[in-house]
Structure 1
Amino acid sequence: MDKKDLIKGISPKLKLIRVEKGYTQQRMADILGISKKTLVQIEKERNEASWTTIVAVCALFQDSEVLKNTLGEDPFEVIETVAHDQIDRPRGMTMGGKVWWTEVERKGAYTLQQNILSKHYRIIDDSNYRWYSTFEEDEAERKLIELDSTK
């Protein structure tokens, strides 16, 4: 998954997200920092949202059921992983992957999981804290071995 994939996947859902939140087009446009005309063009699928708008949507509406059904439990994690190519630092506690994740491999205190929707990989520890995210399976497996060898 890359920026273009996210733009193509989320742009057509802006209206659903707006309706889910109960916003008018003007209010949604104001929140996203775009003109109402631009939002209307995106909602009518005449234009796609910009990368900046997609990032704003995922950051500001990360609790949206529409986004979660598109990207998984943490839409902003997907955006962050795409933007940085990977996330290589400990981050907040997750829900442990009970809904949106399948276990790929386990080594010691760490579990490699793959998101069933976005297909990105992450490594969490036994306390469900995320340590690493990437779209590259070989990089995730390398990091899993590295993390396991440090404990």
Structure 2
Amino acid sequence: MNEKDVIDVISKKVKLVRHEKGYTQEKMAEVLGISKKTLVQIEKGRTSATWTCVIALCALFRDSEVIQAALGEDPLEVIETLAHGNIDRPREKTLGGKIWWKQIKKENDFILQQNVISKHYRIIDRDNYRWFSSLDQDETLIYFDELLENNATTL
């Protein structure tokens, strides 16, 4: 999944998110920082949301079941991974990947997973803290091996 894919998917979900949250078009447009006319055009499929609008929607409505069904349990992880190319620092605790994640590899204290929707990769530890995310499988495998190496030398 790339930036354009996310824009396409989320643009088609704006109206559903608005209804899910009980917002009027006026309120949703205000919250997203766009005109009501632009929101109507997005909802009717005549135009796509901008990348900035998609980021705002995912950030402000990250708990939306509609957005989570489209991007997975943490929509901002997908957005952040796309924006930066990868995330290589320990972050907040995840839910462990029980729903939107396929386990690729597990060794020692680390688990390599792939998101079944966005197809990006992440490494979490046994306590479900995310250590790394990337769209690149090779990069993620290298980081995984480095984590294992560093973990082995500290024991």
Q: TM-score, normalised by structure 1?
A: 0.98
Deviation of the 1:3 alpha carbon = 1.2
CA displacement at 1:5 relative to structure 2:
1.0
Aligned to 2:88: 88
Quick one: distance in 1 between partners of 2:47 and 2:16? 16
Distance of 1:4 and 1:95 partners within structure 2: 27
User: Aligned partners of 2:82, 2:12: CA distance in 1, in Å?
Assistant: 19
Code of the aligned partner of 2:96: G
- Alignment RMSD (CA, Å): 0.6
How many residues are aligned here?
151
* C-alpha distance in 1 between matches for 2:87 and 2:37: 35
Q: How does 1:48-127 map to 2 (within 5 A)?
A: 48-127=48-127
Deviation of 1:107 (Å): 2.0
- What corresponds to 1:9 in structure 2? 9
Deviation of the 1:87 alpha carbon: 0.5
Aligned to 2:23: 23
Instruction: State the distance in 1 between where 2:105 and 2:139 align.
Output: 13
**Aligned AA (1:64):** S
How far apart in 1 are the matches of 2:11 and 2:45?
8
User: Per-residue deviation at 1:95?
Assistant: 0.6
Structure 2 SS opposite 1:27: helix
Partner of 2:46: 46
Identity %: 58
- The question of whether the paired residues in 2 share the 8 Å contact of 1:107 and 1:145 is answered with no
Q: Distance in 2 between matches of 1:146 and 1:58?
A: 32
Runs of 4+ in structure 1 over 3 Å off: none
C-alpha contact (below 8 Å) 1:107/1:144 kept by paired residues? no
* Gapped regions of structure 1 (runs ≥ 5): none
Corresponding residue number in structure 2 for 1:135: 135
SS of the residue aligned with 1:47? Answer: coil
Q: Which residue type is aligned with residue 88 of structure 2?
A: D
